[in-house]
Amino acid sequence: MSGIFTKSMARNIFYGGTVFFFLLLLALTFDTNKTLPKLDNSANLTPQVIAGKKVWETRNCIGCHTLLGEGAYFAPELGNVYKRRGPEFIKAWIQSQPTGAPGRRQMPQFNLTNEELDNLVAFLKYSSEINAANWPPNIEG
Amino acid sequence: MQYKSQAVAKPYFIAAIGLFVGQILFGLIMGLQYVIGDFLFPALPFNIARMVHTNLLIVWLLFGFMGSAYYLIPEETETELYSPKLALVLFWIFLIAGALTIVGYLALPYATLAKLTGNDILETMGREFLEQPLITKIGIVIVALGFLFNISMTLLKGRKTSISLVLIVGLWGLAIFFLFSFYNPHNLVKDKFYWWWVVHLWVEGVWELILGALLAYVLIKVTGVDREVIEKWLYVIITLALVTGLIGTGHHYYWIGTPQYWQWWGSIFSALEPLPFFAMTVFAFNMVNRRRREHPNKAAVLWALGTGVMAFLGAGVWGFLHTLAPVNFYTHGSQITAAHGHMAFYGAYVMVVLTVISYAMPILRGRAANSERSQVVEMWSFWLMTVAMVFIVLFLTAAGILQVWLQRVSDTPMSFMATQDQISLFYWMREWAGVVFFTGLVLYIVSFFVKGETKGANA
């Protein structure tokens, strides 16, 4: 870099650029929050869904699964599992874990109550109805 | 060592390396669980092992950042640390709190841990990378504030260089954005949106300031190039990092229920995110080529150059690979993501911490550089770990491409688990590359104990 471009110029561009783009991020965030109700299915955020989210979190499901593509990549995507499998299958599946099939990946038994299972399914139903721009590409997730 | 108080960095570096070993051991366990699904089940389910693997990474990098700051801030500010005692007290608090958290993960069912640690008061747990119990999160904030107080007070009473200013802005940013980990709205979309304010604005934002400052500091020391030149480069690099990275956050907002304009904002700005890393590589090689001295610590120079190259490959190239929205539509949440994550974290943050340790540790032990023999072992460990990481990433990328094809592109898409069976060969090869990585890490630790004639007392 030539002698014309000095350190203090570089520093000023850094502070100016950072402030400008951080403000732009805040503006986009503000607009996103305004637009979200049309996309985020928050109208269906019932107490049951909220309780289901807590079940999801306190069993650390994200440690194996993905939800809307985020999480670990060890076990299937669950953002659309409600549509892929339906409520009864999901409950039966969770209750029958672990499969114990030798050499296969195993899911722990969480001993969820019927109410907790229903809450979790409600949460997964709510998640599957978020407008995620047609992701995932197909039902397999 | 120019300032006595720099010595507090030593325990931080030792703890960082110790936790690094733990991280890799859990990584190997998980790699095996990918192909032998019931390995160590039910004693250690995958989700617990992964939590330990990623949380150890974060904690040891934080130890590394703090140790680096305690080492370089006295030299940069030309004054003793405000309170070395506080630094040592915080070290033990952080180490014990971290160890107790890991024990909690391993010994208790996660739901029980949540109940015992106040998750019902404020629900913050069970989100990727932010799995820590509430009390641990509060502990992290307390340690971070004490650390920042210590560093900031030192800076206030001493010389204010650009390197120390950039470092401190990065560290304050780290602490401030961590506060978003306490915000967990019921609305899943908002939860995810602000979760990235910790995760993305850390690793593709303020951490890059820390990375740049640490690299610039070591380059000044080992090359003797004029500070004005190096600090000018530093500002250019971090400008590029934040100008691209702030709006680049948008590449996480494609498929989580956020407005679709993020596909444009995210694609355009994150496509530019390789630029700061490319600049960093050019910077590192340029400075070493223009060096005015031959520093006896060749290993540290190697780590510094390696950081530039691997950060560019891992964060820059592998990030770009799947950052454009039309591509990401297929690759989102696949092994491609895992491949990128591994090389980016290793190339940028692991390697910069090892660069500082490589430079500072010999001086902390009373010599300018380690013996030739010790440096040869250390450089072997550099190549083993780095080449092994390249292969881990190549195998995961191959697995990812196949996964995307079989599960998402093909006319007859396979289920997730059927796909996993098809690509297990690549998981096996990844695991063997992981064993080589671990061998490199063992050699790295061995290098600290290799004796031999050392040159120079104190540089």
Residue entry with tokens 């996309």: A39
Q: How far apart are the first and last CA of chain A?
A: 49
| Interchain contact, B247 vs A49, CB within 8 Å | no
- Give chain B's mean pLDDT: 97
pLDDT of residue B459: 44
pLDDT digits (tens, 9 = 90+) for B68-79: 999 999 999 999
Mean pLDDT of all residues in B127-134: 98
Complex confidence, ipTM: 0.97
Of B113, B67, B43, B98, the closest CA to residue B352 belongs to B67
pLDDT digits (tens, 9 = 90+) for B136-162: 999 999 999 999 999 999 999 999 999
Q: Is A138 on the interface with B (CB under 8 A)?
A: yes
Residue B414 — φ and ψ, nearest 5°? -85, 160
Residues of B in contact with A6 (CB under 8 A): 232
Return d(Cα B300, Cα B375) in angstroms, integer: 9
pLDDT digits (tens, 9 = 90+) for B78-101: 999 999 999 999 999 999 999 999
Q: Which residues pair with A66 in a beta bridge?
A: A71, A77
pLDDT digits (tens, 9 = 90+) for B23-53: 999 999 999 999 999 999 999 999 999 999 9
Of A59, A70, A56, the closest CA to residue B108 belongs to A59
Residue B189 has its nearest CB partner, among A5, A21, A40, at A40
Residue entry with tokens 């695991």: B431
Return d(Cα B277, Cα B352) in angstroms, integer: 13
Peptide bond into B362 cis (omega under 30): no
Return d(Cα B453, Cα B24) in angstroms, integer: 32
Reply yes or no on whether the pLDDT at A2 is more than 90: no
Residues of A in contact with B417 (CB under 8 A): 76, 105
| Interchain contact, B126 vs A11, CB within 8 Å | no
Using DSSP's 3-state secondary structure scheme, residue B158 falls into coil
Which of A6, A8, A60 is most worth mutating to test chain B (most B CB atoms within 10 A of its CB)? A60
**Contacts for A45 with CB less than 8 Å, ≥ 6 apart:** A126, B186, B187
pLDDT of residue B454: 78
Distances B362 to A14, B1, B224, B368, B458 between C-alpha atoms, Å = 34, 10, 18, 6, 9
Residue B254 has its nearest CB partner, among A61, A104, A133, at A133
For residue B331, how many C-alpha atoms fall within 13 Å in the half-sphere facing its CB? 25
Which residues, numbered 68 to 97 in chain A, qualify as contacts with chain B under a Cβ-Cβ cut-off of 8 Å? Answer: 68-77
Return d(Cα B76, Cα B164) in angstroms, integer: 6
pLDDT digits (tens, 9 = 90+) for A51-84: 999 999 999 999 999 999 999 999 999 999 999 9
Residue B50 has its nearest CB partner, among A63, A102, A104, at A63
pLDDT digits (tens, 9 = 90+) for A21-52: 999 999 999 999 999 999 999 999 999 999 99
Confidence band, pLDDT 50/70/90 cuts, at residue B452: confident
Tell me the pTM.
0.97
pLDDT of residue B455: 65
Reply yes or no on whether the pLDDT at B297 is more than 90: yes
pLDDT digits (tens, 9 = 90+) for B157-179: 999 999 999 999 999 999 999 99
Share of chain B above pLDDT 70, in %: 99
Residue entry with tokens 């107080």: B149
| Interchain contact, A126 vs B188, CB within 8 Å | yes
| Six token digits for residue B93 | 């608090």
pLDDT of residue B324: 98
| Interchain contact, B257 vs A39, CB within 8 Å | yes
Confidence band, pLDDT 50/70/90 cuts, at residue B300: very high
Across the A:B interface, residue pairs with CB atoms under 8 Å apart total 222
| Interchain contact, B46 vs A72, CB within 8 Å | yes
pLDDT of residue A4: 87
Phi-psi region of B259 (alpha: psi -120 to 50; beta: other; left: phi over 0): beta
CB A126 within 8 A of CB A49: yes
Q: Which residue in B has a C-alpha nearest to residue A78's C-alpha?
A: B416
Residues of B in contact with A53 (CB under 8 A): 186, 188
pLDDT of residue B19: 98
Which residues, numbered 23 to 52 in chain A, qualify as contacts with chain B under a Cβ-Cβ cut-off of 8 Å? Answer: 24-25, 28-29, 31-33, 35-36, 39-42, 45, 49-50
Residues of A in contact with B190 (CB under 8 A): 33, 36, 40
Q: Which residue in A has a C-alpha nearest to residue B237's C-alpha?
A: A14
pLDDT of residue A26: 98
C-alpha distance from A71 to closest chain B C-alpha (Å)? 6
Residue A36 has its nearest CB partner, among B51, B189, B265, at B189
| Interchain contact, A72 vs B50, CB within 8 Å | yes
| Interchain contact, A57 vs B47, CB within 8 Å | no
